[in-house]
Structure 1
Amino acid sequence: MNLLSRHLLASVLLTCGLAVGLFEFILIAGNAIQDLLDHVLAGQFPLGTVLRLVGLLVPYVITYALPLGTLCGVLLVLGRLSADNEITAMRAVGRSVGQISRPILLFGALGAVFTLFVNFVAMPHARVQYHREYAEALRSNPLSFLVPRTFISDFPGYVLYVGDKHGSEMRDFWLWQLDSQQRVVSLVRAEAGKFDYDEATDTLLLTLTHATAERRDSKNPEEFGNAPLTFNFEQTSERLSLDRLLSRRGGFRQKLQWMTYPELQAQLAKFSQPVPPADRKEQARDRMKVQITIQEKITQAVAVFSFAALAIPLGIRISRRETSANLGLAVLLAGGYYFLTVMIGWLDRHPEYRPDLLQWLPNVLFLGLALWLFRRIDRN
């Protein structure tokens, strides 16, 4: 690799690295705010736990940040070089567009290989570990969910309110039980009470004193013409399943996207076993979802190369120094790519259309457009 190619590669590496870092920060911040902010503000997670969880988000979001950062970085570098007539000078001394593009295409190919490793190895392990640590952090301090003077809807099927809390002691406690349509079917109010964590059953045990309970008609709980049944208790207890909470907030049912390549192959083998004729249609759909996931992981990696290839002729033709214009173009192109990917994903219930192979369509379109632009530049 000659001096000019090394200079160009170094410029692309630096700019793409900064762009990837920017998009990585934005995506991590969005995920962290969604998953962790409430716990941080409530003082439920220590700083060390938060930092580990944020670190485990890096492989998850880099799959999206790397293609977008590559597209943006190459546009910025070549747009500036073209605007300063440096591309024209390179071609004047005998450098063809292909020779100028070679180090950038090499960078795109290496980025694609790296993304394959992330998608099939690093990201699945990090995502599983993220949910395990998240669940453990919740389980280690179960009483932290109960924030005074706050309506708490973390427990599926219940809404809680605690007027005041000191350690495990509470005052002015309210518990609403909801049906599947989120209608109140029963209400418990207590002047005071106490929380205990039952580790054997993974439940919160609420011991309530001076409690009043109301039960409404389960078939029509919003019919207020009939007075609800009312009960008074000197002392009563309620159990709230922490396992249900963790399965919704911290636990997980491992998604196909979080599986490694061997695990996905095992799923394919599972859905290839003989089944009764009545179950074959559903089995074909399940098998297609696995095939889509595999192809999606591969095409996401190839997108790094596709974005780099398309950004080369676009950067040369646009010839803009403005960072904002190149960023806007990069986001617009990436948005179109991922929108088309999402549309293809909607066909997962129709294996006859082969949505697994259609996952390659966005890359084919981008590479085809890149090739057409390269030919136009050569003719000029």
Structure 2
Amino acid sequence: MGPQVRPNFPDLPYPRVGNCRPVKTKGPLTVSIFHRYIFFGVAFTCAGAIGVLVFILVMGNAMRDLFQLFSQGQLSLMTSGEMLLLLIPFVLSYALPLGILTGVLLTLGRLSADHEIIAARSAGIGLIRLSAPILFLAVLGVAVSLVMNFHYAPNAKARYREILQDAVRTNPLSFIVERSFIREFPGYVIYVGRKQADQLGDFWIWELDDRERVVKFIRAQSGKFEFNEKDNFLILVLNRGQSEFRSSDTPEDFSRPRPALAFDRASIQLPLQQIFGAHKERKRVGEMNLRELLVEYRRLRDPEEDLTETEREVGRQEIRLVIQEDLTLAYSVFSLTLLGIPLGIRVSRKETSANLGLAVVLAMGFYFMMNMAGMLEKYPELRPDLLLWVPNILYQIIGFTMCYRFGRT
């Protein structure tokens, strides 16, 4: 008989089992190769999933807030581009947990469907060693999410609102589009029939009550907008018009007489803080970074501040809620990953749609429970700031239980 020829199998990231064995290597080297194989496989898939989610969320917010303003000439191309970039840190807070969960499910589902998980376990690699690079990636995701939630996202939201307000302050007429209804100002609907440069004509104005019913109608021949920077008001000055008044109790009862008043000149104050927040005043809590939140919390505890005890407690509760929400959202990266590891292995599906659907269901369930806890902010005795951690605890319990059962099989 001639010499035996051994088959030349390609190297795998884990030791072979059976009669065909590779050249023996040291354990640490084998584990390192295997860990890199898992880590980069999951990392690249997660990066792709996060990129797609960020694009979808940014485009969704842009279509709602920016595209209409840009198409109507209310924002310049450069300003729109800057505001588009400012949306990225904000949407990353939500895209990061869902993207990493999607990447874990896709990668482990593919490996399990190709029987690579079975081969690795047959080589003596347990679930802990199998999931170590994935958990390390999750810890990195938590760190990135913390930085985003406590620094970049609130700063981006504050800058976003500031740009909108500056656009109105710099050029109030940019928000006026000829022959269109302007609904940006709460309590008013404004229609301008003619616009030539800074000359506006044919004004129709409806003043609304809290139930969106018309209580006052104004028609004017011409007018102009002025900006009161001190009080943060847009002042609409109307010339030669008529006002029609309706009953504040039954404004939709047209059988009752509606008194009218003609005027030669009148003005309406449109407060910008109702849209963009007060100018040059304290930031909203949701737009404060961690350092500003701690400064504000100390201010509320300062006995020298002229605040009632109720105002102090409400302010402190709001800050605690924001901090715990940011922490919970960041830590959800780890919780969702821990649950995604056994699920991805058990589902054993290569299909992207199946794994993506599972990831969306898990993430939506998590965010739904978070929102339910956040809705209890009016009941501080229930400690909604601590109830925000219930989804994390629940998902981790389920994840640990599934990992334990999988490790025993």
Q: 1: distance between equivalents of 2:321 and 2:331?
A: 15
Shift of 1:261: 1.8
Shift of 1:274: 5.9
Shift of 1:303: 0.9
Contact residue 169 and residue 229 of structure 2 kept, 8 A: no
Show the counterpart of 2:321. 292
- DSSP 3-state at the match of 1:69: helix
Shift of 1:207: 4.0
Q: 2: distance between equivalents of 1:360 and 1:183?
A: 42
Match 1:144 to one of 174, 184, 188: 174
Flag the 1:196–1:259 CA change in 2: closer, same or farther, 3 A. Answer: closer
Shift of 1:231: 3.6
Show the counterpart of 1:31. 61
Flag the 1:52–1:230 CA change in 2: closer, same or farther, 3 A. Answer: same
Shift of 1:281: 5.9
Show the counterpart of 1:258. 287
Flag the 1:378–1:226 CA change in 2: closer, same or farther, 3 A. Answer: closer
Q: Mark the runs of 5 or more structure 2 residues left unpaired by the alignment.
A: 1-30
Contact residue 284 and residue 351 of structure 1 kept, 8 A: no
- DSSP 3-state at the match of 2:178: coil
Flag the 1:266–1:5 CA change in 2: closer, same or farther, 3 A. Answer: same
Q: Mark the runs of 5 or more structure 1 residues left unpaired by the alignment.
A: none
Match 1:134 to one of 161, 164, 173: 164
Show the counterpart of 2:405. 376
1:115 aligned onto 2:145: yes
* Alignment TM-score, normalising by the size of structure 2: 0.83
The number of residues matched between the two structures is 372
Match 2:237 to one of 206, 218, 227: 206
Q: 2: distance between equivalents of 1:25 and 1:171?
A: 41
Shift of 1:71: 0.5
Show the counterpart of 1:268. 297
Flag the 1:339–1:198 CA change in 2: closer, same or farther, 3 A. Answer: closer
Q: 2: distance between equivalents of 1:176 and 1:359?
A: 42
Q: 1: distance between equivalents of 2:229 and 2:144?
A: 44
Contact residue 177 and residue 187 of structure 1 kept, 8 A: yes
Match 1:7 to one of 12, 27, 37: 37
Task: Specify which structure has the higher proportion of helix.
Answer: 1
- DSSP 3-state at the match of 1:324: helix
1:67 aligned onto 2:97: yes
Q: 2: distance between equivalents of 1:308 and 1:49?
A: 37
1:124 aligned onto 2:173: no
**1:160-171 maps to which residues of 2 (within 5 A)?**
160-171=190-201
Please give the per-residue CA displacement for 1:80-127, whole angstroms capped at 9, x wherever unaligned.
Answer: 000001111112222211111111100000110111111111112111
Q: Which structure's CA Rg is the greater one?
A: 2
1:230 aligned onto 2:260: yes
Q: 2: distance between equivalents of 1:327 and 1:60?
A: 22
1:326 aligned onto 2:355: yes
Q: C-alpha root-mean-square deviation of aligned residues, in Å?
A: 2.5
Report the more deviating stretch, 223-232 or 329-338: 223-232
Instruction: Give the residue type in structure 2 aligned to 1:356.
Output: D
Q: 2: distance between equivalents of 1:4 and 1:143?
A: 62
Q: 2: distance between equivalents of 1:347 and 1:186?
A: 37
Q: 1: distance between equivalents of 2:379 and 2:262?
A: 56
Flag the 1:372–1:208 CA change in 2: closer, same or farther, 3 A. Answer: same
- DSSP 3-state at the match of 1:321: coil
Report the more deviating stretch, 156-165 or 72-81: 156-165
Match 1:247 to one of 245, 269, 273: 273
Show the counterpart of 1:193. 222
Flag the 1:165–1:101 CA change in 2: closer, same or farther, 3 A. Answer: same
Q: 2: distance between equivalents of 1:67 and 1:379?
A: 28
Flag the 1:299–1:195 CA change in 2: closer, same or farther, 3 A. Answer: same
Shift of 1:318: 1.0
**1:300-311 maps to which residues of 2 (within 5 A)?**
300-311=329-340
Shift of 1:220: 4.7
Shift of 1:139: 2.4
- DSSP 3-state at the match of 2:349: coil
Q: Larger relative contact order (C-alpha < 8 A, sep ≥ 6)?
A: 1
Show the counterpart of 1:316. 345
Instruction: Give the residue type in structure 2 aligned to 1:358.
Output: L
Please give the per-residue CA displacement for 1:267-298, whole angstroms capped at 9, x wherever unaligned.
Answer: 333444569xxx65664444333222212211
